[in-house]
A and B are shown apart, each in its own frame.
Chain A
Amino acid sequence: QVQLQESGPGLVKPSETLSLTCAVSGYSISSGYYWGWIRQPPGKGLEWIGSIYHSGSTYYNPSLKSRVTISVDTSKNQFSLKLSSVTAADTAVYYCARLCSSSWYAPCYWGQGTLVTVSS
């Protein structure tokens, strides 16, 4: 059974870059599937950030595209998120996920999430 675990700083200052890593166990990223990041501001709904294929091809949310970079490291079996120029509006629980079948649009397995607060 695939398992995903997010890690990274829980507090980021405004204007700085948020960096998170998702460690994958129980499945080799290089074997296939898309992998994604989704976030949820406290008390609010879900927002997709982006998806990456094991080969490195990406899809990004157009509203975040200018600030987002998602990358994959198959040697460490993990993928990462960088979000630049953060503001308080980026405070959220960030989830990583493995997507279903060959889709870039449907997560099947989710991490437990990590809260990132943007504050000085």
Chain B
Amino acid sequence: NFMLTQPHSVSESPGKTVTISCTRSSGSIASNYVQWYQQRPGSSPTTVIYEDNQRPSGVPDRFSGSIDSSSNSASLTISGLKTEDEADYYCQSYDSSNWVFGGGTKLTVL
């Protein structure tokens, strides 16, 4: 099994761009798709990226996903930050029989 490691927290100012990383401990990041979820306090998660870089309908194109084989990591980039983007963000991938979640990153927009 592998692990996904995220920074505990990041912060940025409104209007700026922030990138949250998700590093896979073993095996190639490109082997299995990566998903990203946003969870605002007291709310259920919502999917902002699936299959590395796909946005579900209704998710603004300020949210984008990518993978980098050289660092064996995935990234979620949010541009034009808004105060409403303040939330916990989780990455997730899978292997042949299980899902693996990252520990989550708290994004503060200040």
Q: Which residues does A use to contact B, with CB under 8 Å?
A: 38, 45-48, 59, 61-62, 95, 100-101, 103, 105-113
Contact = CB atoms under 8 A, between A and B. Distances in A.
Interface residues of B, number: 23
B47 interface: yes
B37 A112 contact: no
13 contacts: A45-B103, A46-B90, A47-B101, A48-B99, A48-B101, A59-B97, A61-B98, A103-B33, A105-B33, A105-B93, A106-B92, A107-B37, A109-B56
B14 interface: no
Interface of A is mostly: loop
Interface of B: 32-33, 35, 37, 44-47, 50-51, 54, 56, 90, 92-94, 97-99, 101-104
Nearest to B6: A45
Nearest to B100: A48
Nearest to B47: A108
A77 to B, nearest CB: 20
Contacts of B90: 45-46
